[in-house]
Chains A and B, each alone.
Chain A
Amino acid sequence: MHSPSQSGVVGKAFRTALPLTLPIAAGFLFLGCSYGLLMHAKGFAFLYPVCMAYFIFAGSMEFVTVNLLLSAFNPLAAFMLALMVNARHLFYGLSMLGKYKNMGWKKPYLIFAMCDESFAINSSAHIPDDVDRGWFMLFVNLLNRWYWIGGTALGWLVGGLLPFSTKGIEFVLTALFLVIFLDQWMGERRHLPAMVGVLASLACLIVLGPDRFMVPSLVLMLVLFIVLRPYLDDPRPKGDGSAGDAVKDTEDMEATS
């Protein structure tokens, strides 16, 4: 049953989420368009790019899959490649274990639709106290997902007909990630975790090149975080409820009481 304020809660979450997704709308409409256009140029029917956008919903993997579809049939290799290209999702999941707690029916969708951009927003956004977190994150994922699917469909249908040059608009996603990075940087005293992310991936990119650096970066990051744990982990002895870490520890208090 819907309480009278239910639609107010949903509407408020939507109005909070929408502006944050606008840069992604610009980026995804363009990138989705170029993907749809590519599929058209390679001779695939309309349903192919749209179904791939709908079911795979991982931009870089969809571009990779175009090549897979044009080479010899090898489902095992395709599966392994999907695991490797998308290995970063494992770290998104680990980061969101706490934030996705108690999300009920929304949780499977929040996990299924967690692309880079939705993760970046949901993991960093300071959601106001009077906005429902579950609905907020749901709308971020839902909007981003449909920008991408819409862009893909549009690209197949009308791509190449734009009257003005959009060259360079893909930079909007770099800008988005950089701004979220800066926000996190300015909001934290400790910069080591952020530096580990940048330096590990930059080092692997320089040594291994753009096509092979992702999985080694994740492994290197994990090793560095294991080594640095004594410096980075907050000491929090079990049973001491007076520690200052008040943000997410209500569960702990419930568990001990």
Chain B
Amino acid sequence: MTMTVLQSVLTIAVVSLGTILTRFLPFLLFPESKEPPRFIEYLGKVLPYAMTGLLVVYSLKDVSPMTGSHGIPELIAMAAIVALHAWKRNMLLSIAGGTILYMALVQMVFV
């Protein structure tokens, strides 16, 4: 470690503060007592769908299609999840099935 204890505590504190700020800012800008602008209401309706899409991409950001297993285990497992979910529409079943399949693929097939 190159930092003193005080410096590392300060670093953790400002990172916490920055993170807390990103979480609280919308609620500080648009408090309950005031009706939010129509545009913000509109964003509140479309953003949840878009952000879930972003999270899917975000959780796959380190998969590289050019090297390693070329993202094939991810593709297979995701296809299985889509099929399972279209069939049974059971959240836990789809998640567990897809994850176990993925673990089997990376541990036994694409080693």
Contact = CB atoms under 8 A, between A and B. Distances in A.
A219 B14 CA distance: 24
B18 A194 contact: no
Nearest to A73: B7
Q: Is the interface of B mostly helix, strand, loop or mixed?
A: helix
B89 A186 contact: yes
Interface string A60-75: 0100010011111101
A172 to B, nearest CB: 4
Interface string A28-67: 0000000000000001100010011001111001000100
Given A88-B54, A123-B48, A205-B57, A20 B11 contact: no
Contacts of B26: 90, 93-94, 97
Q: Is the interface of A mostly helix, strand, loop or mixed?
A: helix
Interface string B7-18: 110111111111
A197 B103 contact: no
Contact of B58 (A186, A214, A233): A214
Interface string A99-134: 011100001000110101001100110000000000
User: What bracket does the count of chain B residues touching chain A fall in?
Assistant: 35 or more
Contacts of A98: 41, 44
Interface residues of A, number: 99
Contacts of A205: 57, 61
A201 B53 contact: yes
Interface in A152-184: 165-169, 171-184
Given A82-B19, A123-B48, A169 B103 contact: yes
Task: Identify the 5 closest CB pairs spanning chains A and B, nearest first.
Answer: A197-B53, A82-B18, A93-B26, A197-B50, A198-B53
Given A55-B12, A69-B12, A175-B81, 17 more contacts: A61-B15, A76-B14, A78-B15, A92-B23, A123-B51, A123-B52, A173-B59, A174-B60, A175-B77, A175-B94, A182-B85, A196-B50, A197-B52, A201-B57, A201-B58, A225-B46, A255-B35
12 contacts: A81-B15, A82-B17, A88-B54, A89-B23, A90-B25, A95-B48, A98-B44, A100-B27, A101-B32, A168-B105, A175-B77, A181-B53
Interface of A: 19-20, 22-23, 26, 43-44, 48, 51-52, 55-58, 61, 65, 68-73, 75-76, 78-83, 86-98, 100-102, 107, 111-112, 114, 116, 119-120, 123-124, 165-169, 171-184, 186, 188, 193-198, 200-202, 205, 210, 213-214, 217-218, 221-222, 225, 229, 232-234, 255
